[in-house]
Structure 1
Amino acid sequence: MRIRSLALLTTAAVLATMTACVATSEETRPEPRPSVSEEEVTPIETPDDAPEVSIVDSSPGGAKDADPLWQGLAEAAANKSEAYLKVYVHTGNPDVPDTGEATVTADTPDSVSVTVDAKNVDTEKSPFLLIQGTFTVEEIGGSAYTLTTENSDEIPELNPKGPDDEARCTADDAQDRISLAAQDLADDPDKREDFRQQWGASPQVWWGIQKTAISLNQEGGVAGDFLTEACGEYLQQ
């Protein structure tokens, strides 16, 4: 059995990246930023026939202004247009019925709730639930939507290209690369789409990066060990 220390990917590592200092005889100066190799990011080209609202992402939950799932559902409902979703949601209640409807809500306070046919919810990565398909969208409350399935087909051209969760979590430079991504996203949230294209192929890690970045900006620290949550199953193999 291969066991890697979970400490490698704890959010304490992110704080260390931010605040570590090196003492000298004259001063205390910031520790040099860890060095990682550049990654080549493959741009995503949207097919002409894809719905205007197409969301392939990991929802961080929480407020609408930070959640692309909520924003996309609101746009589709307002415009009475279809929405294509391939979205992972980390939930505290991952039980999904075999038939009928399922309501998926992130385990972050004040998150959007999505009611959808249970057949369109994949539980393979539970507690990360995957909502996938093309839907019509109806707003039934300020933070609640009902989806009606048009089809369950995937649009693979919209999938980010890159390493999957296992490859990200078990890489030799996982600690530095993932922690730096969280800090860089916290420093420049406007570059979220660039980060999604780079990290979206590893949806659990991408969720952990977002949650850590949001927490750094909101609280000046980290409330929750999101990166260990994202990588735990792979680090204990």
Structure 2
Amino acid sequence: MRIRSLALLTTAAVLATTTACVPTSEETRPQERPSVSEEEVTPIETPDDAPEISVVDSSPGGAKDVDPLWQGLAEAAEKKSEAYLKVYVHTGNPDVPDSGEATVTADTPDSVSVTVDAADIDTEKSPFLLIHGTFTVEEIGDSAYTLTTKDSDDVPELDPKGPDDEARCTADDAQERISLAADDLADDPDKREDLRQQWGGSPQVWWGIQKTAVSLNKEGGVAGDFLTEACGEYLDQ
């Protein structure tokens, strides 16, 4: 069964928790956690010649403490070290000029802004923009950085291995599997690296999982429609 409704993913992200309770006339009892098959996750082995600071990820935007892109840029600027980036950023302004510099900022309040050569921004998954290459990093403000390109080549060994966005979104158990990942991340942020290696091969879905987890951890615990956004182009195929 493929995803049929724009509401199903976000509804599942709220309901599929290990701690949720279903009220009855006499008591509240834990809601059963949906069962999905185990996945084989291929560990990422970092090549010896890879830059010390490497960020291969999807940025959820927002505060520095939840955004690996911002954290990596800050570390590189402080250490005056090169940084290898292959990072998807979901932006409300996905227009990128044919040449010159472009500034990429996630469409989440209080996000980091990155100014980089337009040639190193891939727009294929727009409005998800991919910043890729090896750069020197200069901090030009509290939440703004300028990148100078040293090398535009990818380091494929650092890519997470796993199904792509279409496969994730159209799988028979997509609703359960994706929403459980969002719930697991919300429940235990320390699982982020393990989940990145599992889900990073589908960067749009991984973005949606992170955004949903952040939203679930806010006061009120509302899932939002981020997973719908991530899978929108594959719905009703």
Match of 1:32 in 2: 32
2:184 alignment partner AA: D
Match of 1:152 in 2: 152
Match of 2:117 in 1: 117
- Cα offset, 1:7, TM superposition: 2.7
1:121 alignment partner AA: I
Mark the runs of 5 or more structure 2 residues left unpaired by the alignment.
none
- Cα offset, 1:218, TM superposition: 1.9
Equivalent-residue separation in structure 1 for 2:106 and 2:220 (angstroms): 22
Q: What does 1:189-204 correspond to in 2, within 5 Å? A: 189-204=189-204
Equivalent-residue separation in structure 1 for 2:36 and 2:3 (angstroms): 23
Is 2:203 aligned against 1:216? no
The one-character-per-residue Cα deviations of 1:146-178 (angstroms, maximum 9, x if unpaired) are 000111100000000000000000001011100
Distance change in 2, residues 1:20/1:175 (3 Å): farther
Equivalent-residue separation in structure 1 for 2:86 and 2:21 (angstroms): 38
RMSD: 1.5
SS at match of 2:153: coil
The one-character-per-residue Cα deviations of 1:92-123 (angstroms, maximum 9, x if unpaired) are 10000001001000000000000000000011
Is 2:235 aligned against 1:235? yes
With normalisation by structure 1, the TM-score equals 0.95
Equivalent-residue separation in structure 1 for 2:52 and 2:109 (angstroms): 29
2:46 alignment partner AA: T
Distance change in 2, residues 1:235/1:20 (3 Å): farther
Equivalent-residue separation in structure 2 for 1:3 and 1:185 (angstroms): 22
- Cα offset, 1:215, TM superposition: 1.0
- Tell me if the contact between 1:4 and 1:235 (Cα under 8 Å) persists in the aligned partners: yes
The one-character-per-residue Cα deviations of 1:124-154 (angstroms, maximum 9, x if unpaired) are 1011000000001010001000000111100
SS at match of 1:176: helix
1:105 alignment partner AA: T
Equivalent-residue separation in structure 1 for 2:112 and 2:58 (angstroms): 13
- Cα offset, 1:6, TM superposition: 2.2
Question: Percentage identity across aligned positions?
Answer: 85
With normalisation by structure 2, the TM-score equals 0.95
- Cα offset, 1:20, TM superposition: 5.6
SS at match of 1:55: strand
- Cα offset, 1:3, TM superposition: 7.6
Is 2:22 aligned against 1:21? yes
- Cα offset, 1:220, TM superposition: 3.5
SS at match of 2:139: strand
Equivalent-residue separation in structure 2 for 1:72 and 1:3 (angstroms): 35
- Report the number of matched residues: 234
- Cα offset, 1:221, TM superposition: 1.5
Distance change in 2, residues 1:127/1:20 (3 Å): farther
